Amino acid sequence: MKILVCISSVPDTTSKINFTADKSAFDKNGIQWVINPLDEFALTKAVKLQESQGATVTVINVGDAVTEPVIRKALAIGANDAVRVNLDPKDSYSTAKEIAAVAQNGGYDLILCGKESLDYNGGSVPGMVAQLLNQPFVNASVGLDINGTEATAVREIEGGKETISVKLPAVIAGQKGLVDEKDLIIPNMRGIMSARTKPLQVVEATSSEVKVQGVSYDSVPPRAAVKMVSPDNLDELVRLLHEEAKVI
Amino acid sequence: MAVFVYAENINGVYKKAAFEAVSYARSVADQTGETVTAISVNPTDSSDLLYKYGASNVINIKDEGLKNFSAKAYAQAVKEVADGNIIVFPHTTDASSIAPMLAVMNGYSLITNVLEAPESVAPLQVKRRAFSGKGFMYAKAEGTGVIITVSQNAFGVKENPVSGSEEVKELSVANEDTKVISHEQSSGKLDLKEAEIVVSAGRGMKGPENWGMIEDLAGVLGAATACSKPVSDIGWRPHAEHVGQTGKSIAPNLYIAVGISGAIQHLAGVNSSKTIVVINSDAESPFYKSADYGVVGDAFQIIPALTEKIKALKG
């Protein structure tokens, strides 16, 4: 069984998000890059399937050379090999198109992704990849078992869960719950050393078609200073919520 | 031409997100001088509910094969009836699964997590959520066909009644790749992402047995309940209630955080809330810096007292 895991390199949670002076782009200065946290659930699931089913796990990233440390981390977590498509992606479609182009020739039984990346929050790449490959797609997956040519996926629905059987090959976008947070793999020294010698293939992009342009960016305006209310004066809190904020 | 909008229903009943998406489509149509056509799959609710928000046409797809959800089959069904170059979806789990597949099928641009009405429609340019709530992106669509997903609770539900007409389309879309084995849905519980008010609690509650007072407060407010990540990780509350970076992102009118310190990962999921109240025993809790109102004190005394006072207000 061959699994392709799509990973995105995103700013570390604690990074301050700044934009260039003319607000035309995200300012990458001083940013620590990490594997998109939702992709880590997908990667860990793939490594578990590697252990239980003898699957091979390839990670793919669409990005410039700056993303290589993040790809190496994915290899240290346990992926067998990696592909980097040499393109600084401009939108979800261009990213999906490159992933689909690699997947098309790779004969993967399963493509796993996080349901969205925590930088541009598009949530579009997995569904686009599925459609480009004409494969079934399950989003927001919180459970997954593989049995031969079929997968059983659990997806979160509003107010509940749904269990689905899916014919492989398929694209599954996961989230927290696909594996438990406590089961996420922290690379050990052996993993880090072996990642240095695992194959990381760099391929050139097949297309430069972009469907959405990021024209400008803005930071979220700060909130006004907090109004503190005494615990002995909850009438005042209720009054503020009712009369000032008008939310109750 | 018309602006099309996907009106999502659950078991035939329209979601609030459907009304919000129709309201949004109406504002786009006002800019383009077109009408709004809403599309729904196997609804049981009346189309009058959609006319109320500005849809003058409703296409009800009838297809037994679509009784169970499949992103691909639903995308195919919407493709068959949406004959326009702007299609609006809510940013719910199901709709945001359909939208990318449909965008590829049609060769359309896709702009997700949209927060406001478009700044312009030709080319379509619009403000969207980015960087987990720490920034905004102004996105411009290339080409003429565009699909938009509207972030829940961002635009709001706006009444704009029109007289409408309904059309039924019988389809039989192939749905062979996926099969639903089981479906569990708790009834009567408010959808966290749709809720106008959310009461959330963290480790400060000391144990799952103390959640009764959180539920009581939520009950008098008509609110949904949520929790911080550590609480869902240790199993005090289900994962589905976890709000934050790796949980759900929400944007209610009022978010009340009890016993949550306000880690940056938590803020990523809740900082789009319009009003934030923080109740914590620790006066140094970083969450106060991101709050509108704060109370320092013992939640075990404050929450029952607050519940009583709100009950009194509501009479």
Quick: pLDDT tens for A25-52.
999 999 999 999 999 999 999 999 999 9
B305 pLDDT band, cuts 50/70/90, is: very high
Q: What per-residue confidence (pLDDT) applies to B1? A: 76
Q: Are strands A81-86 and A56-63 parallel, antiparallel or unpaired?
A: parallel
User: Which of A96, A120, A160 is facing B137, going by the closest CB pair?
Assistant: A120
Q: Using alpha carbons, select from B69, B130, B80, B124 the residue that is nearest to residue B102.
A: B80
Residues pairing with B280 in the sheet: B296
User: Which of A160, A162, A214 is facing B139, going by the closest CB pair?
Assistant: A214
Q: What per-residue confidence (pLDDT) applies to B130? A: 96
User: A134: nearest CA in chain B?
Assistant: B72
Q: Using alpha carbons, select from B62, B63, B55 the residue that is nearest to residue B2.
A: B55
Alpha helix stretches (DSSP H) within chain B: 16-32, 48-51, 71-81, 95-106, 212-221, 229-233, 264-270, 299-314
0.90 surpassed by pTM = yes
Tokens of B254: 């009022």
Of A180-184, A233-237, B125-129, give the lowest mean pLDDT range.
Answer: A180-184
Q: What per-residue confidence (pLDDT) applies to B186? A: 76
pLDDT at A173 over 90: yes
pLDDT at B189 over 80: no
Q: How many residues does this entry show for chain A?
A: 248
pLDDT mean across residues, chain A: 96
The position carrying tokens 């976890």 is B242
Percent of chain A predicted with pLDDT > 90: 94
A188 pLDDT band, cuts 50/70/90, is: very high
Mean pLDDT of A135-161: 94
User: Which of A125, A138, A162 is facing B183, going by the closest CB pair?
Assistant: A162
Q: What per-residue confidence (pLDDT) applies to B185? A: 81
Percent of chain A predicted with pLDDT > 70: 100
In this structure, what DSSP letter does residue A220 have?
Answer: P
B176 pLDDT band, cuts 50/70/90, is: confident
Q: Which residues of chain A neighbour B103 with C-beta distances below 8 Å?
A: 93, 124, 128, 211
Contact B305 A128 (CB under 8 A): no
Contact B71 A14 (CB under 8 A): no
User: A166: nearest CA in chain B?
Assistant: B178
Contact B245 A118 (CB under 8 A): yes
Q: How far is B157 from chain A (nearest CA, A)?
A: 16
Q: Are strands B254-258 and B165-170 parallel, antiparallel or unpaired?
A: unpaired
pLDDT at B188 over 80: no
pLDDT at A129 over 80: yes
Q: What per-residue confidence (pLDDT) applies to B246? A: 92
Cα-based distances in Å from A12 to A35, A119, B24, B47 = 8, 10, 33, 46
pLDDT tens by residue, B36-45: 999 999 999 9
User: A209: nearest CA in chain B?
Assistant: B142
Contact B112 A123 (CB under 8 A): yes
Q: Which residues of chain B neighbour A94 with C-beta distances below 8 Å?
A: none
d(CA A136, CA A127): 9
Mean pLDDT of A223-238: 96
pLDDT mean across residues, chain B: 96
